[in-house]
Amino acid sequence: MGKEYVKEIERARRDLRALISAKNCAPIMLRLAWHDAGTYDAKTKTGGPNGSIRTETEIKHAANNGLKIAIDLCEEVKANHPTITYADLYQLAGVVAVEVTEGPIIDFVPGRKDSMVSPDEGRLPDAKEGPSHLREVFYRMGLSDRDIVALSGGHTLDEEAFFRDYAASHKRLSELGFAPPSFLRLALNKTIMAVATAATVVILSYFYEISRKRI
């Protein structure tokens, strides 16, 4: 993977945005991303956002009922971008689903590896269980109480604060057990520096124009 892979991710992002908007399938795409990532066990370093939800074994887990629809829809994008891993594709679909529904912009770092090893059934939250069960599941993933509140939408803050918290928690969920490749970290740092430099130039030009007009 390299710069071309990152470019392919951006092309896939555009295709996902068009697909999700046309099919009005944001909720099920977000559920697909959450369920692929939500099996992570921080102690054993197993499960997580690795694309294994597409296997015949895992998609038949009771909690994943109906998600075959989302997997089939993602196949349309995968066919046009075969170099992208399923793990990246499913998490990107979740990020785009949030954006399409006018939610917060979530930072997305690609580079996840695919796996065909499915975790045991029962790792995902059960809506019939109480708060203690929810905490147990999230703690197993390595997430916090704040992540529980943000990801479950149990908030009472003005929208901006919630969006900020949700975006941060969603990013952590999508990267459970995932360490971005070094070349991507370097590329992101260069991008940040380039944006900062451009912003500085714009600001300096603005003040220059103001001072020139005063003269």
| Predicted pLDDT at 203 | 41
| Predicted pLDDT at 158 | 72
How far is it, in rounded angstroms, from Cα 186 to Cα 83? 21
- Of 74-88, 92-106, 126-140, 194-208, give the lowest mean pLDDT range: 194-208
Residues 6+ apart with CB under 8 A from 185: none
Higher pLDDT, 40 or 150: 40
| Locus of tokens 């604060």 | 161
Taking residues 26-32, report their average pLDDT.
95
Fill in the DSSP letter of residue 112: P
| Predicted pLDDT at 202 | 43
Q: Length of the chain, please?
A: 215
| Predicted pLDDT at 159 | 61
| Locus of tokens 């829809």 | 73
| Predicted pLDDT at 199 | 40
Whether the pLDDT of residue 4 is over 80: the answer is yes
| Predicted pLDDT at 195 | 42
Q: DSSP letter string over 166-204?
A: HHHHHHHHHTTT----HHHHHHHHHHHHHHHHHHHHHHH
How far is it, in rounded angstroms, from Cα 32 to Cα 16? 14
- Estimate to the nearest angstrom the gap between the alpha carbon of 160 and the chain centroid: 19
Does residue 170 have an active-site annotation? no
Other Cβ atoms closer than 10 A to 43: 7
Taking residues 58-76, report their average pLDDT.
97
Crossing angle between the packed helical segments 86-100 and 68-80, to the nearest 10 degrees: 110
Higher pLDDT, 114 or 183: 114
| Predicted pLDDT at 204 | 43
Each residue's pLDDT tens digit, 133-192: 989 999 999 999 889 888 876 444 476 667 888 888 899 899 998 887 765 555 555 544
Question: Hey, what are 119's tokens?
Answer: 């975790």
Q: Per DSSP, what are the bridge partners of residue 46?
A: 41
- Match domain 3-180 to its CATH number in 3.40.50.300, 1.20.1300.10, 1.10.520.10, 3.30.9.10: 1.10.520.10
- Of 49-53, 161-165, 194-198, give the lowest mean pLDDT range: 194-198
Crossing angle between the packed helical segments 68-80 and 26-37, to the nearest 10 degrees: 90
Question: Hey, what are 120's tokens?
Answer: 């045991």
Taking residues 192-207, report their average pLDDT.
43
User: Which of the four pLDDT bands, split at 50, 70 and 90, describes residue 113?
Assistant: very high
Other Cβ atoms closer than 10 A to 155: 14
From the list 48, 101, 92, 47, the residue with the least C-alpha distance to 74 is 92
How far is it, in rounded angstroms, from Cα 171 to Cα 120? 24
Work out the percent of the chain whose per-residue pLDDT is above 70. 80
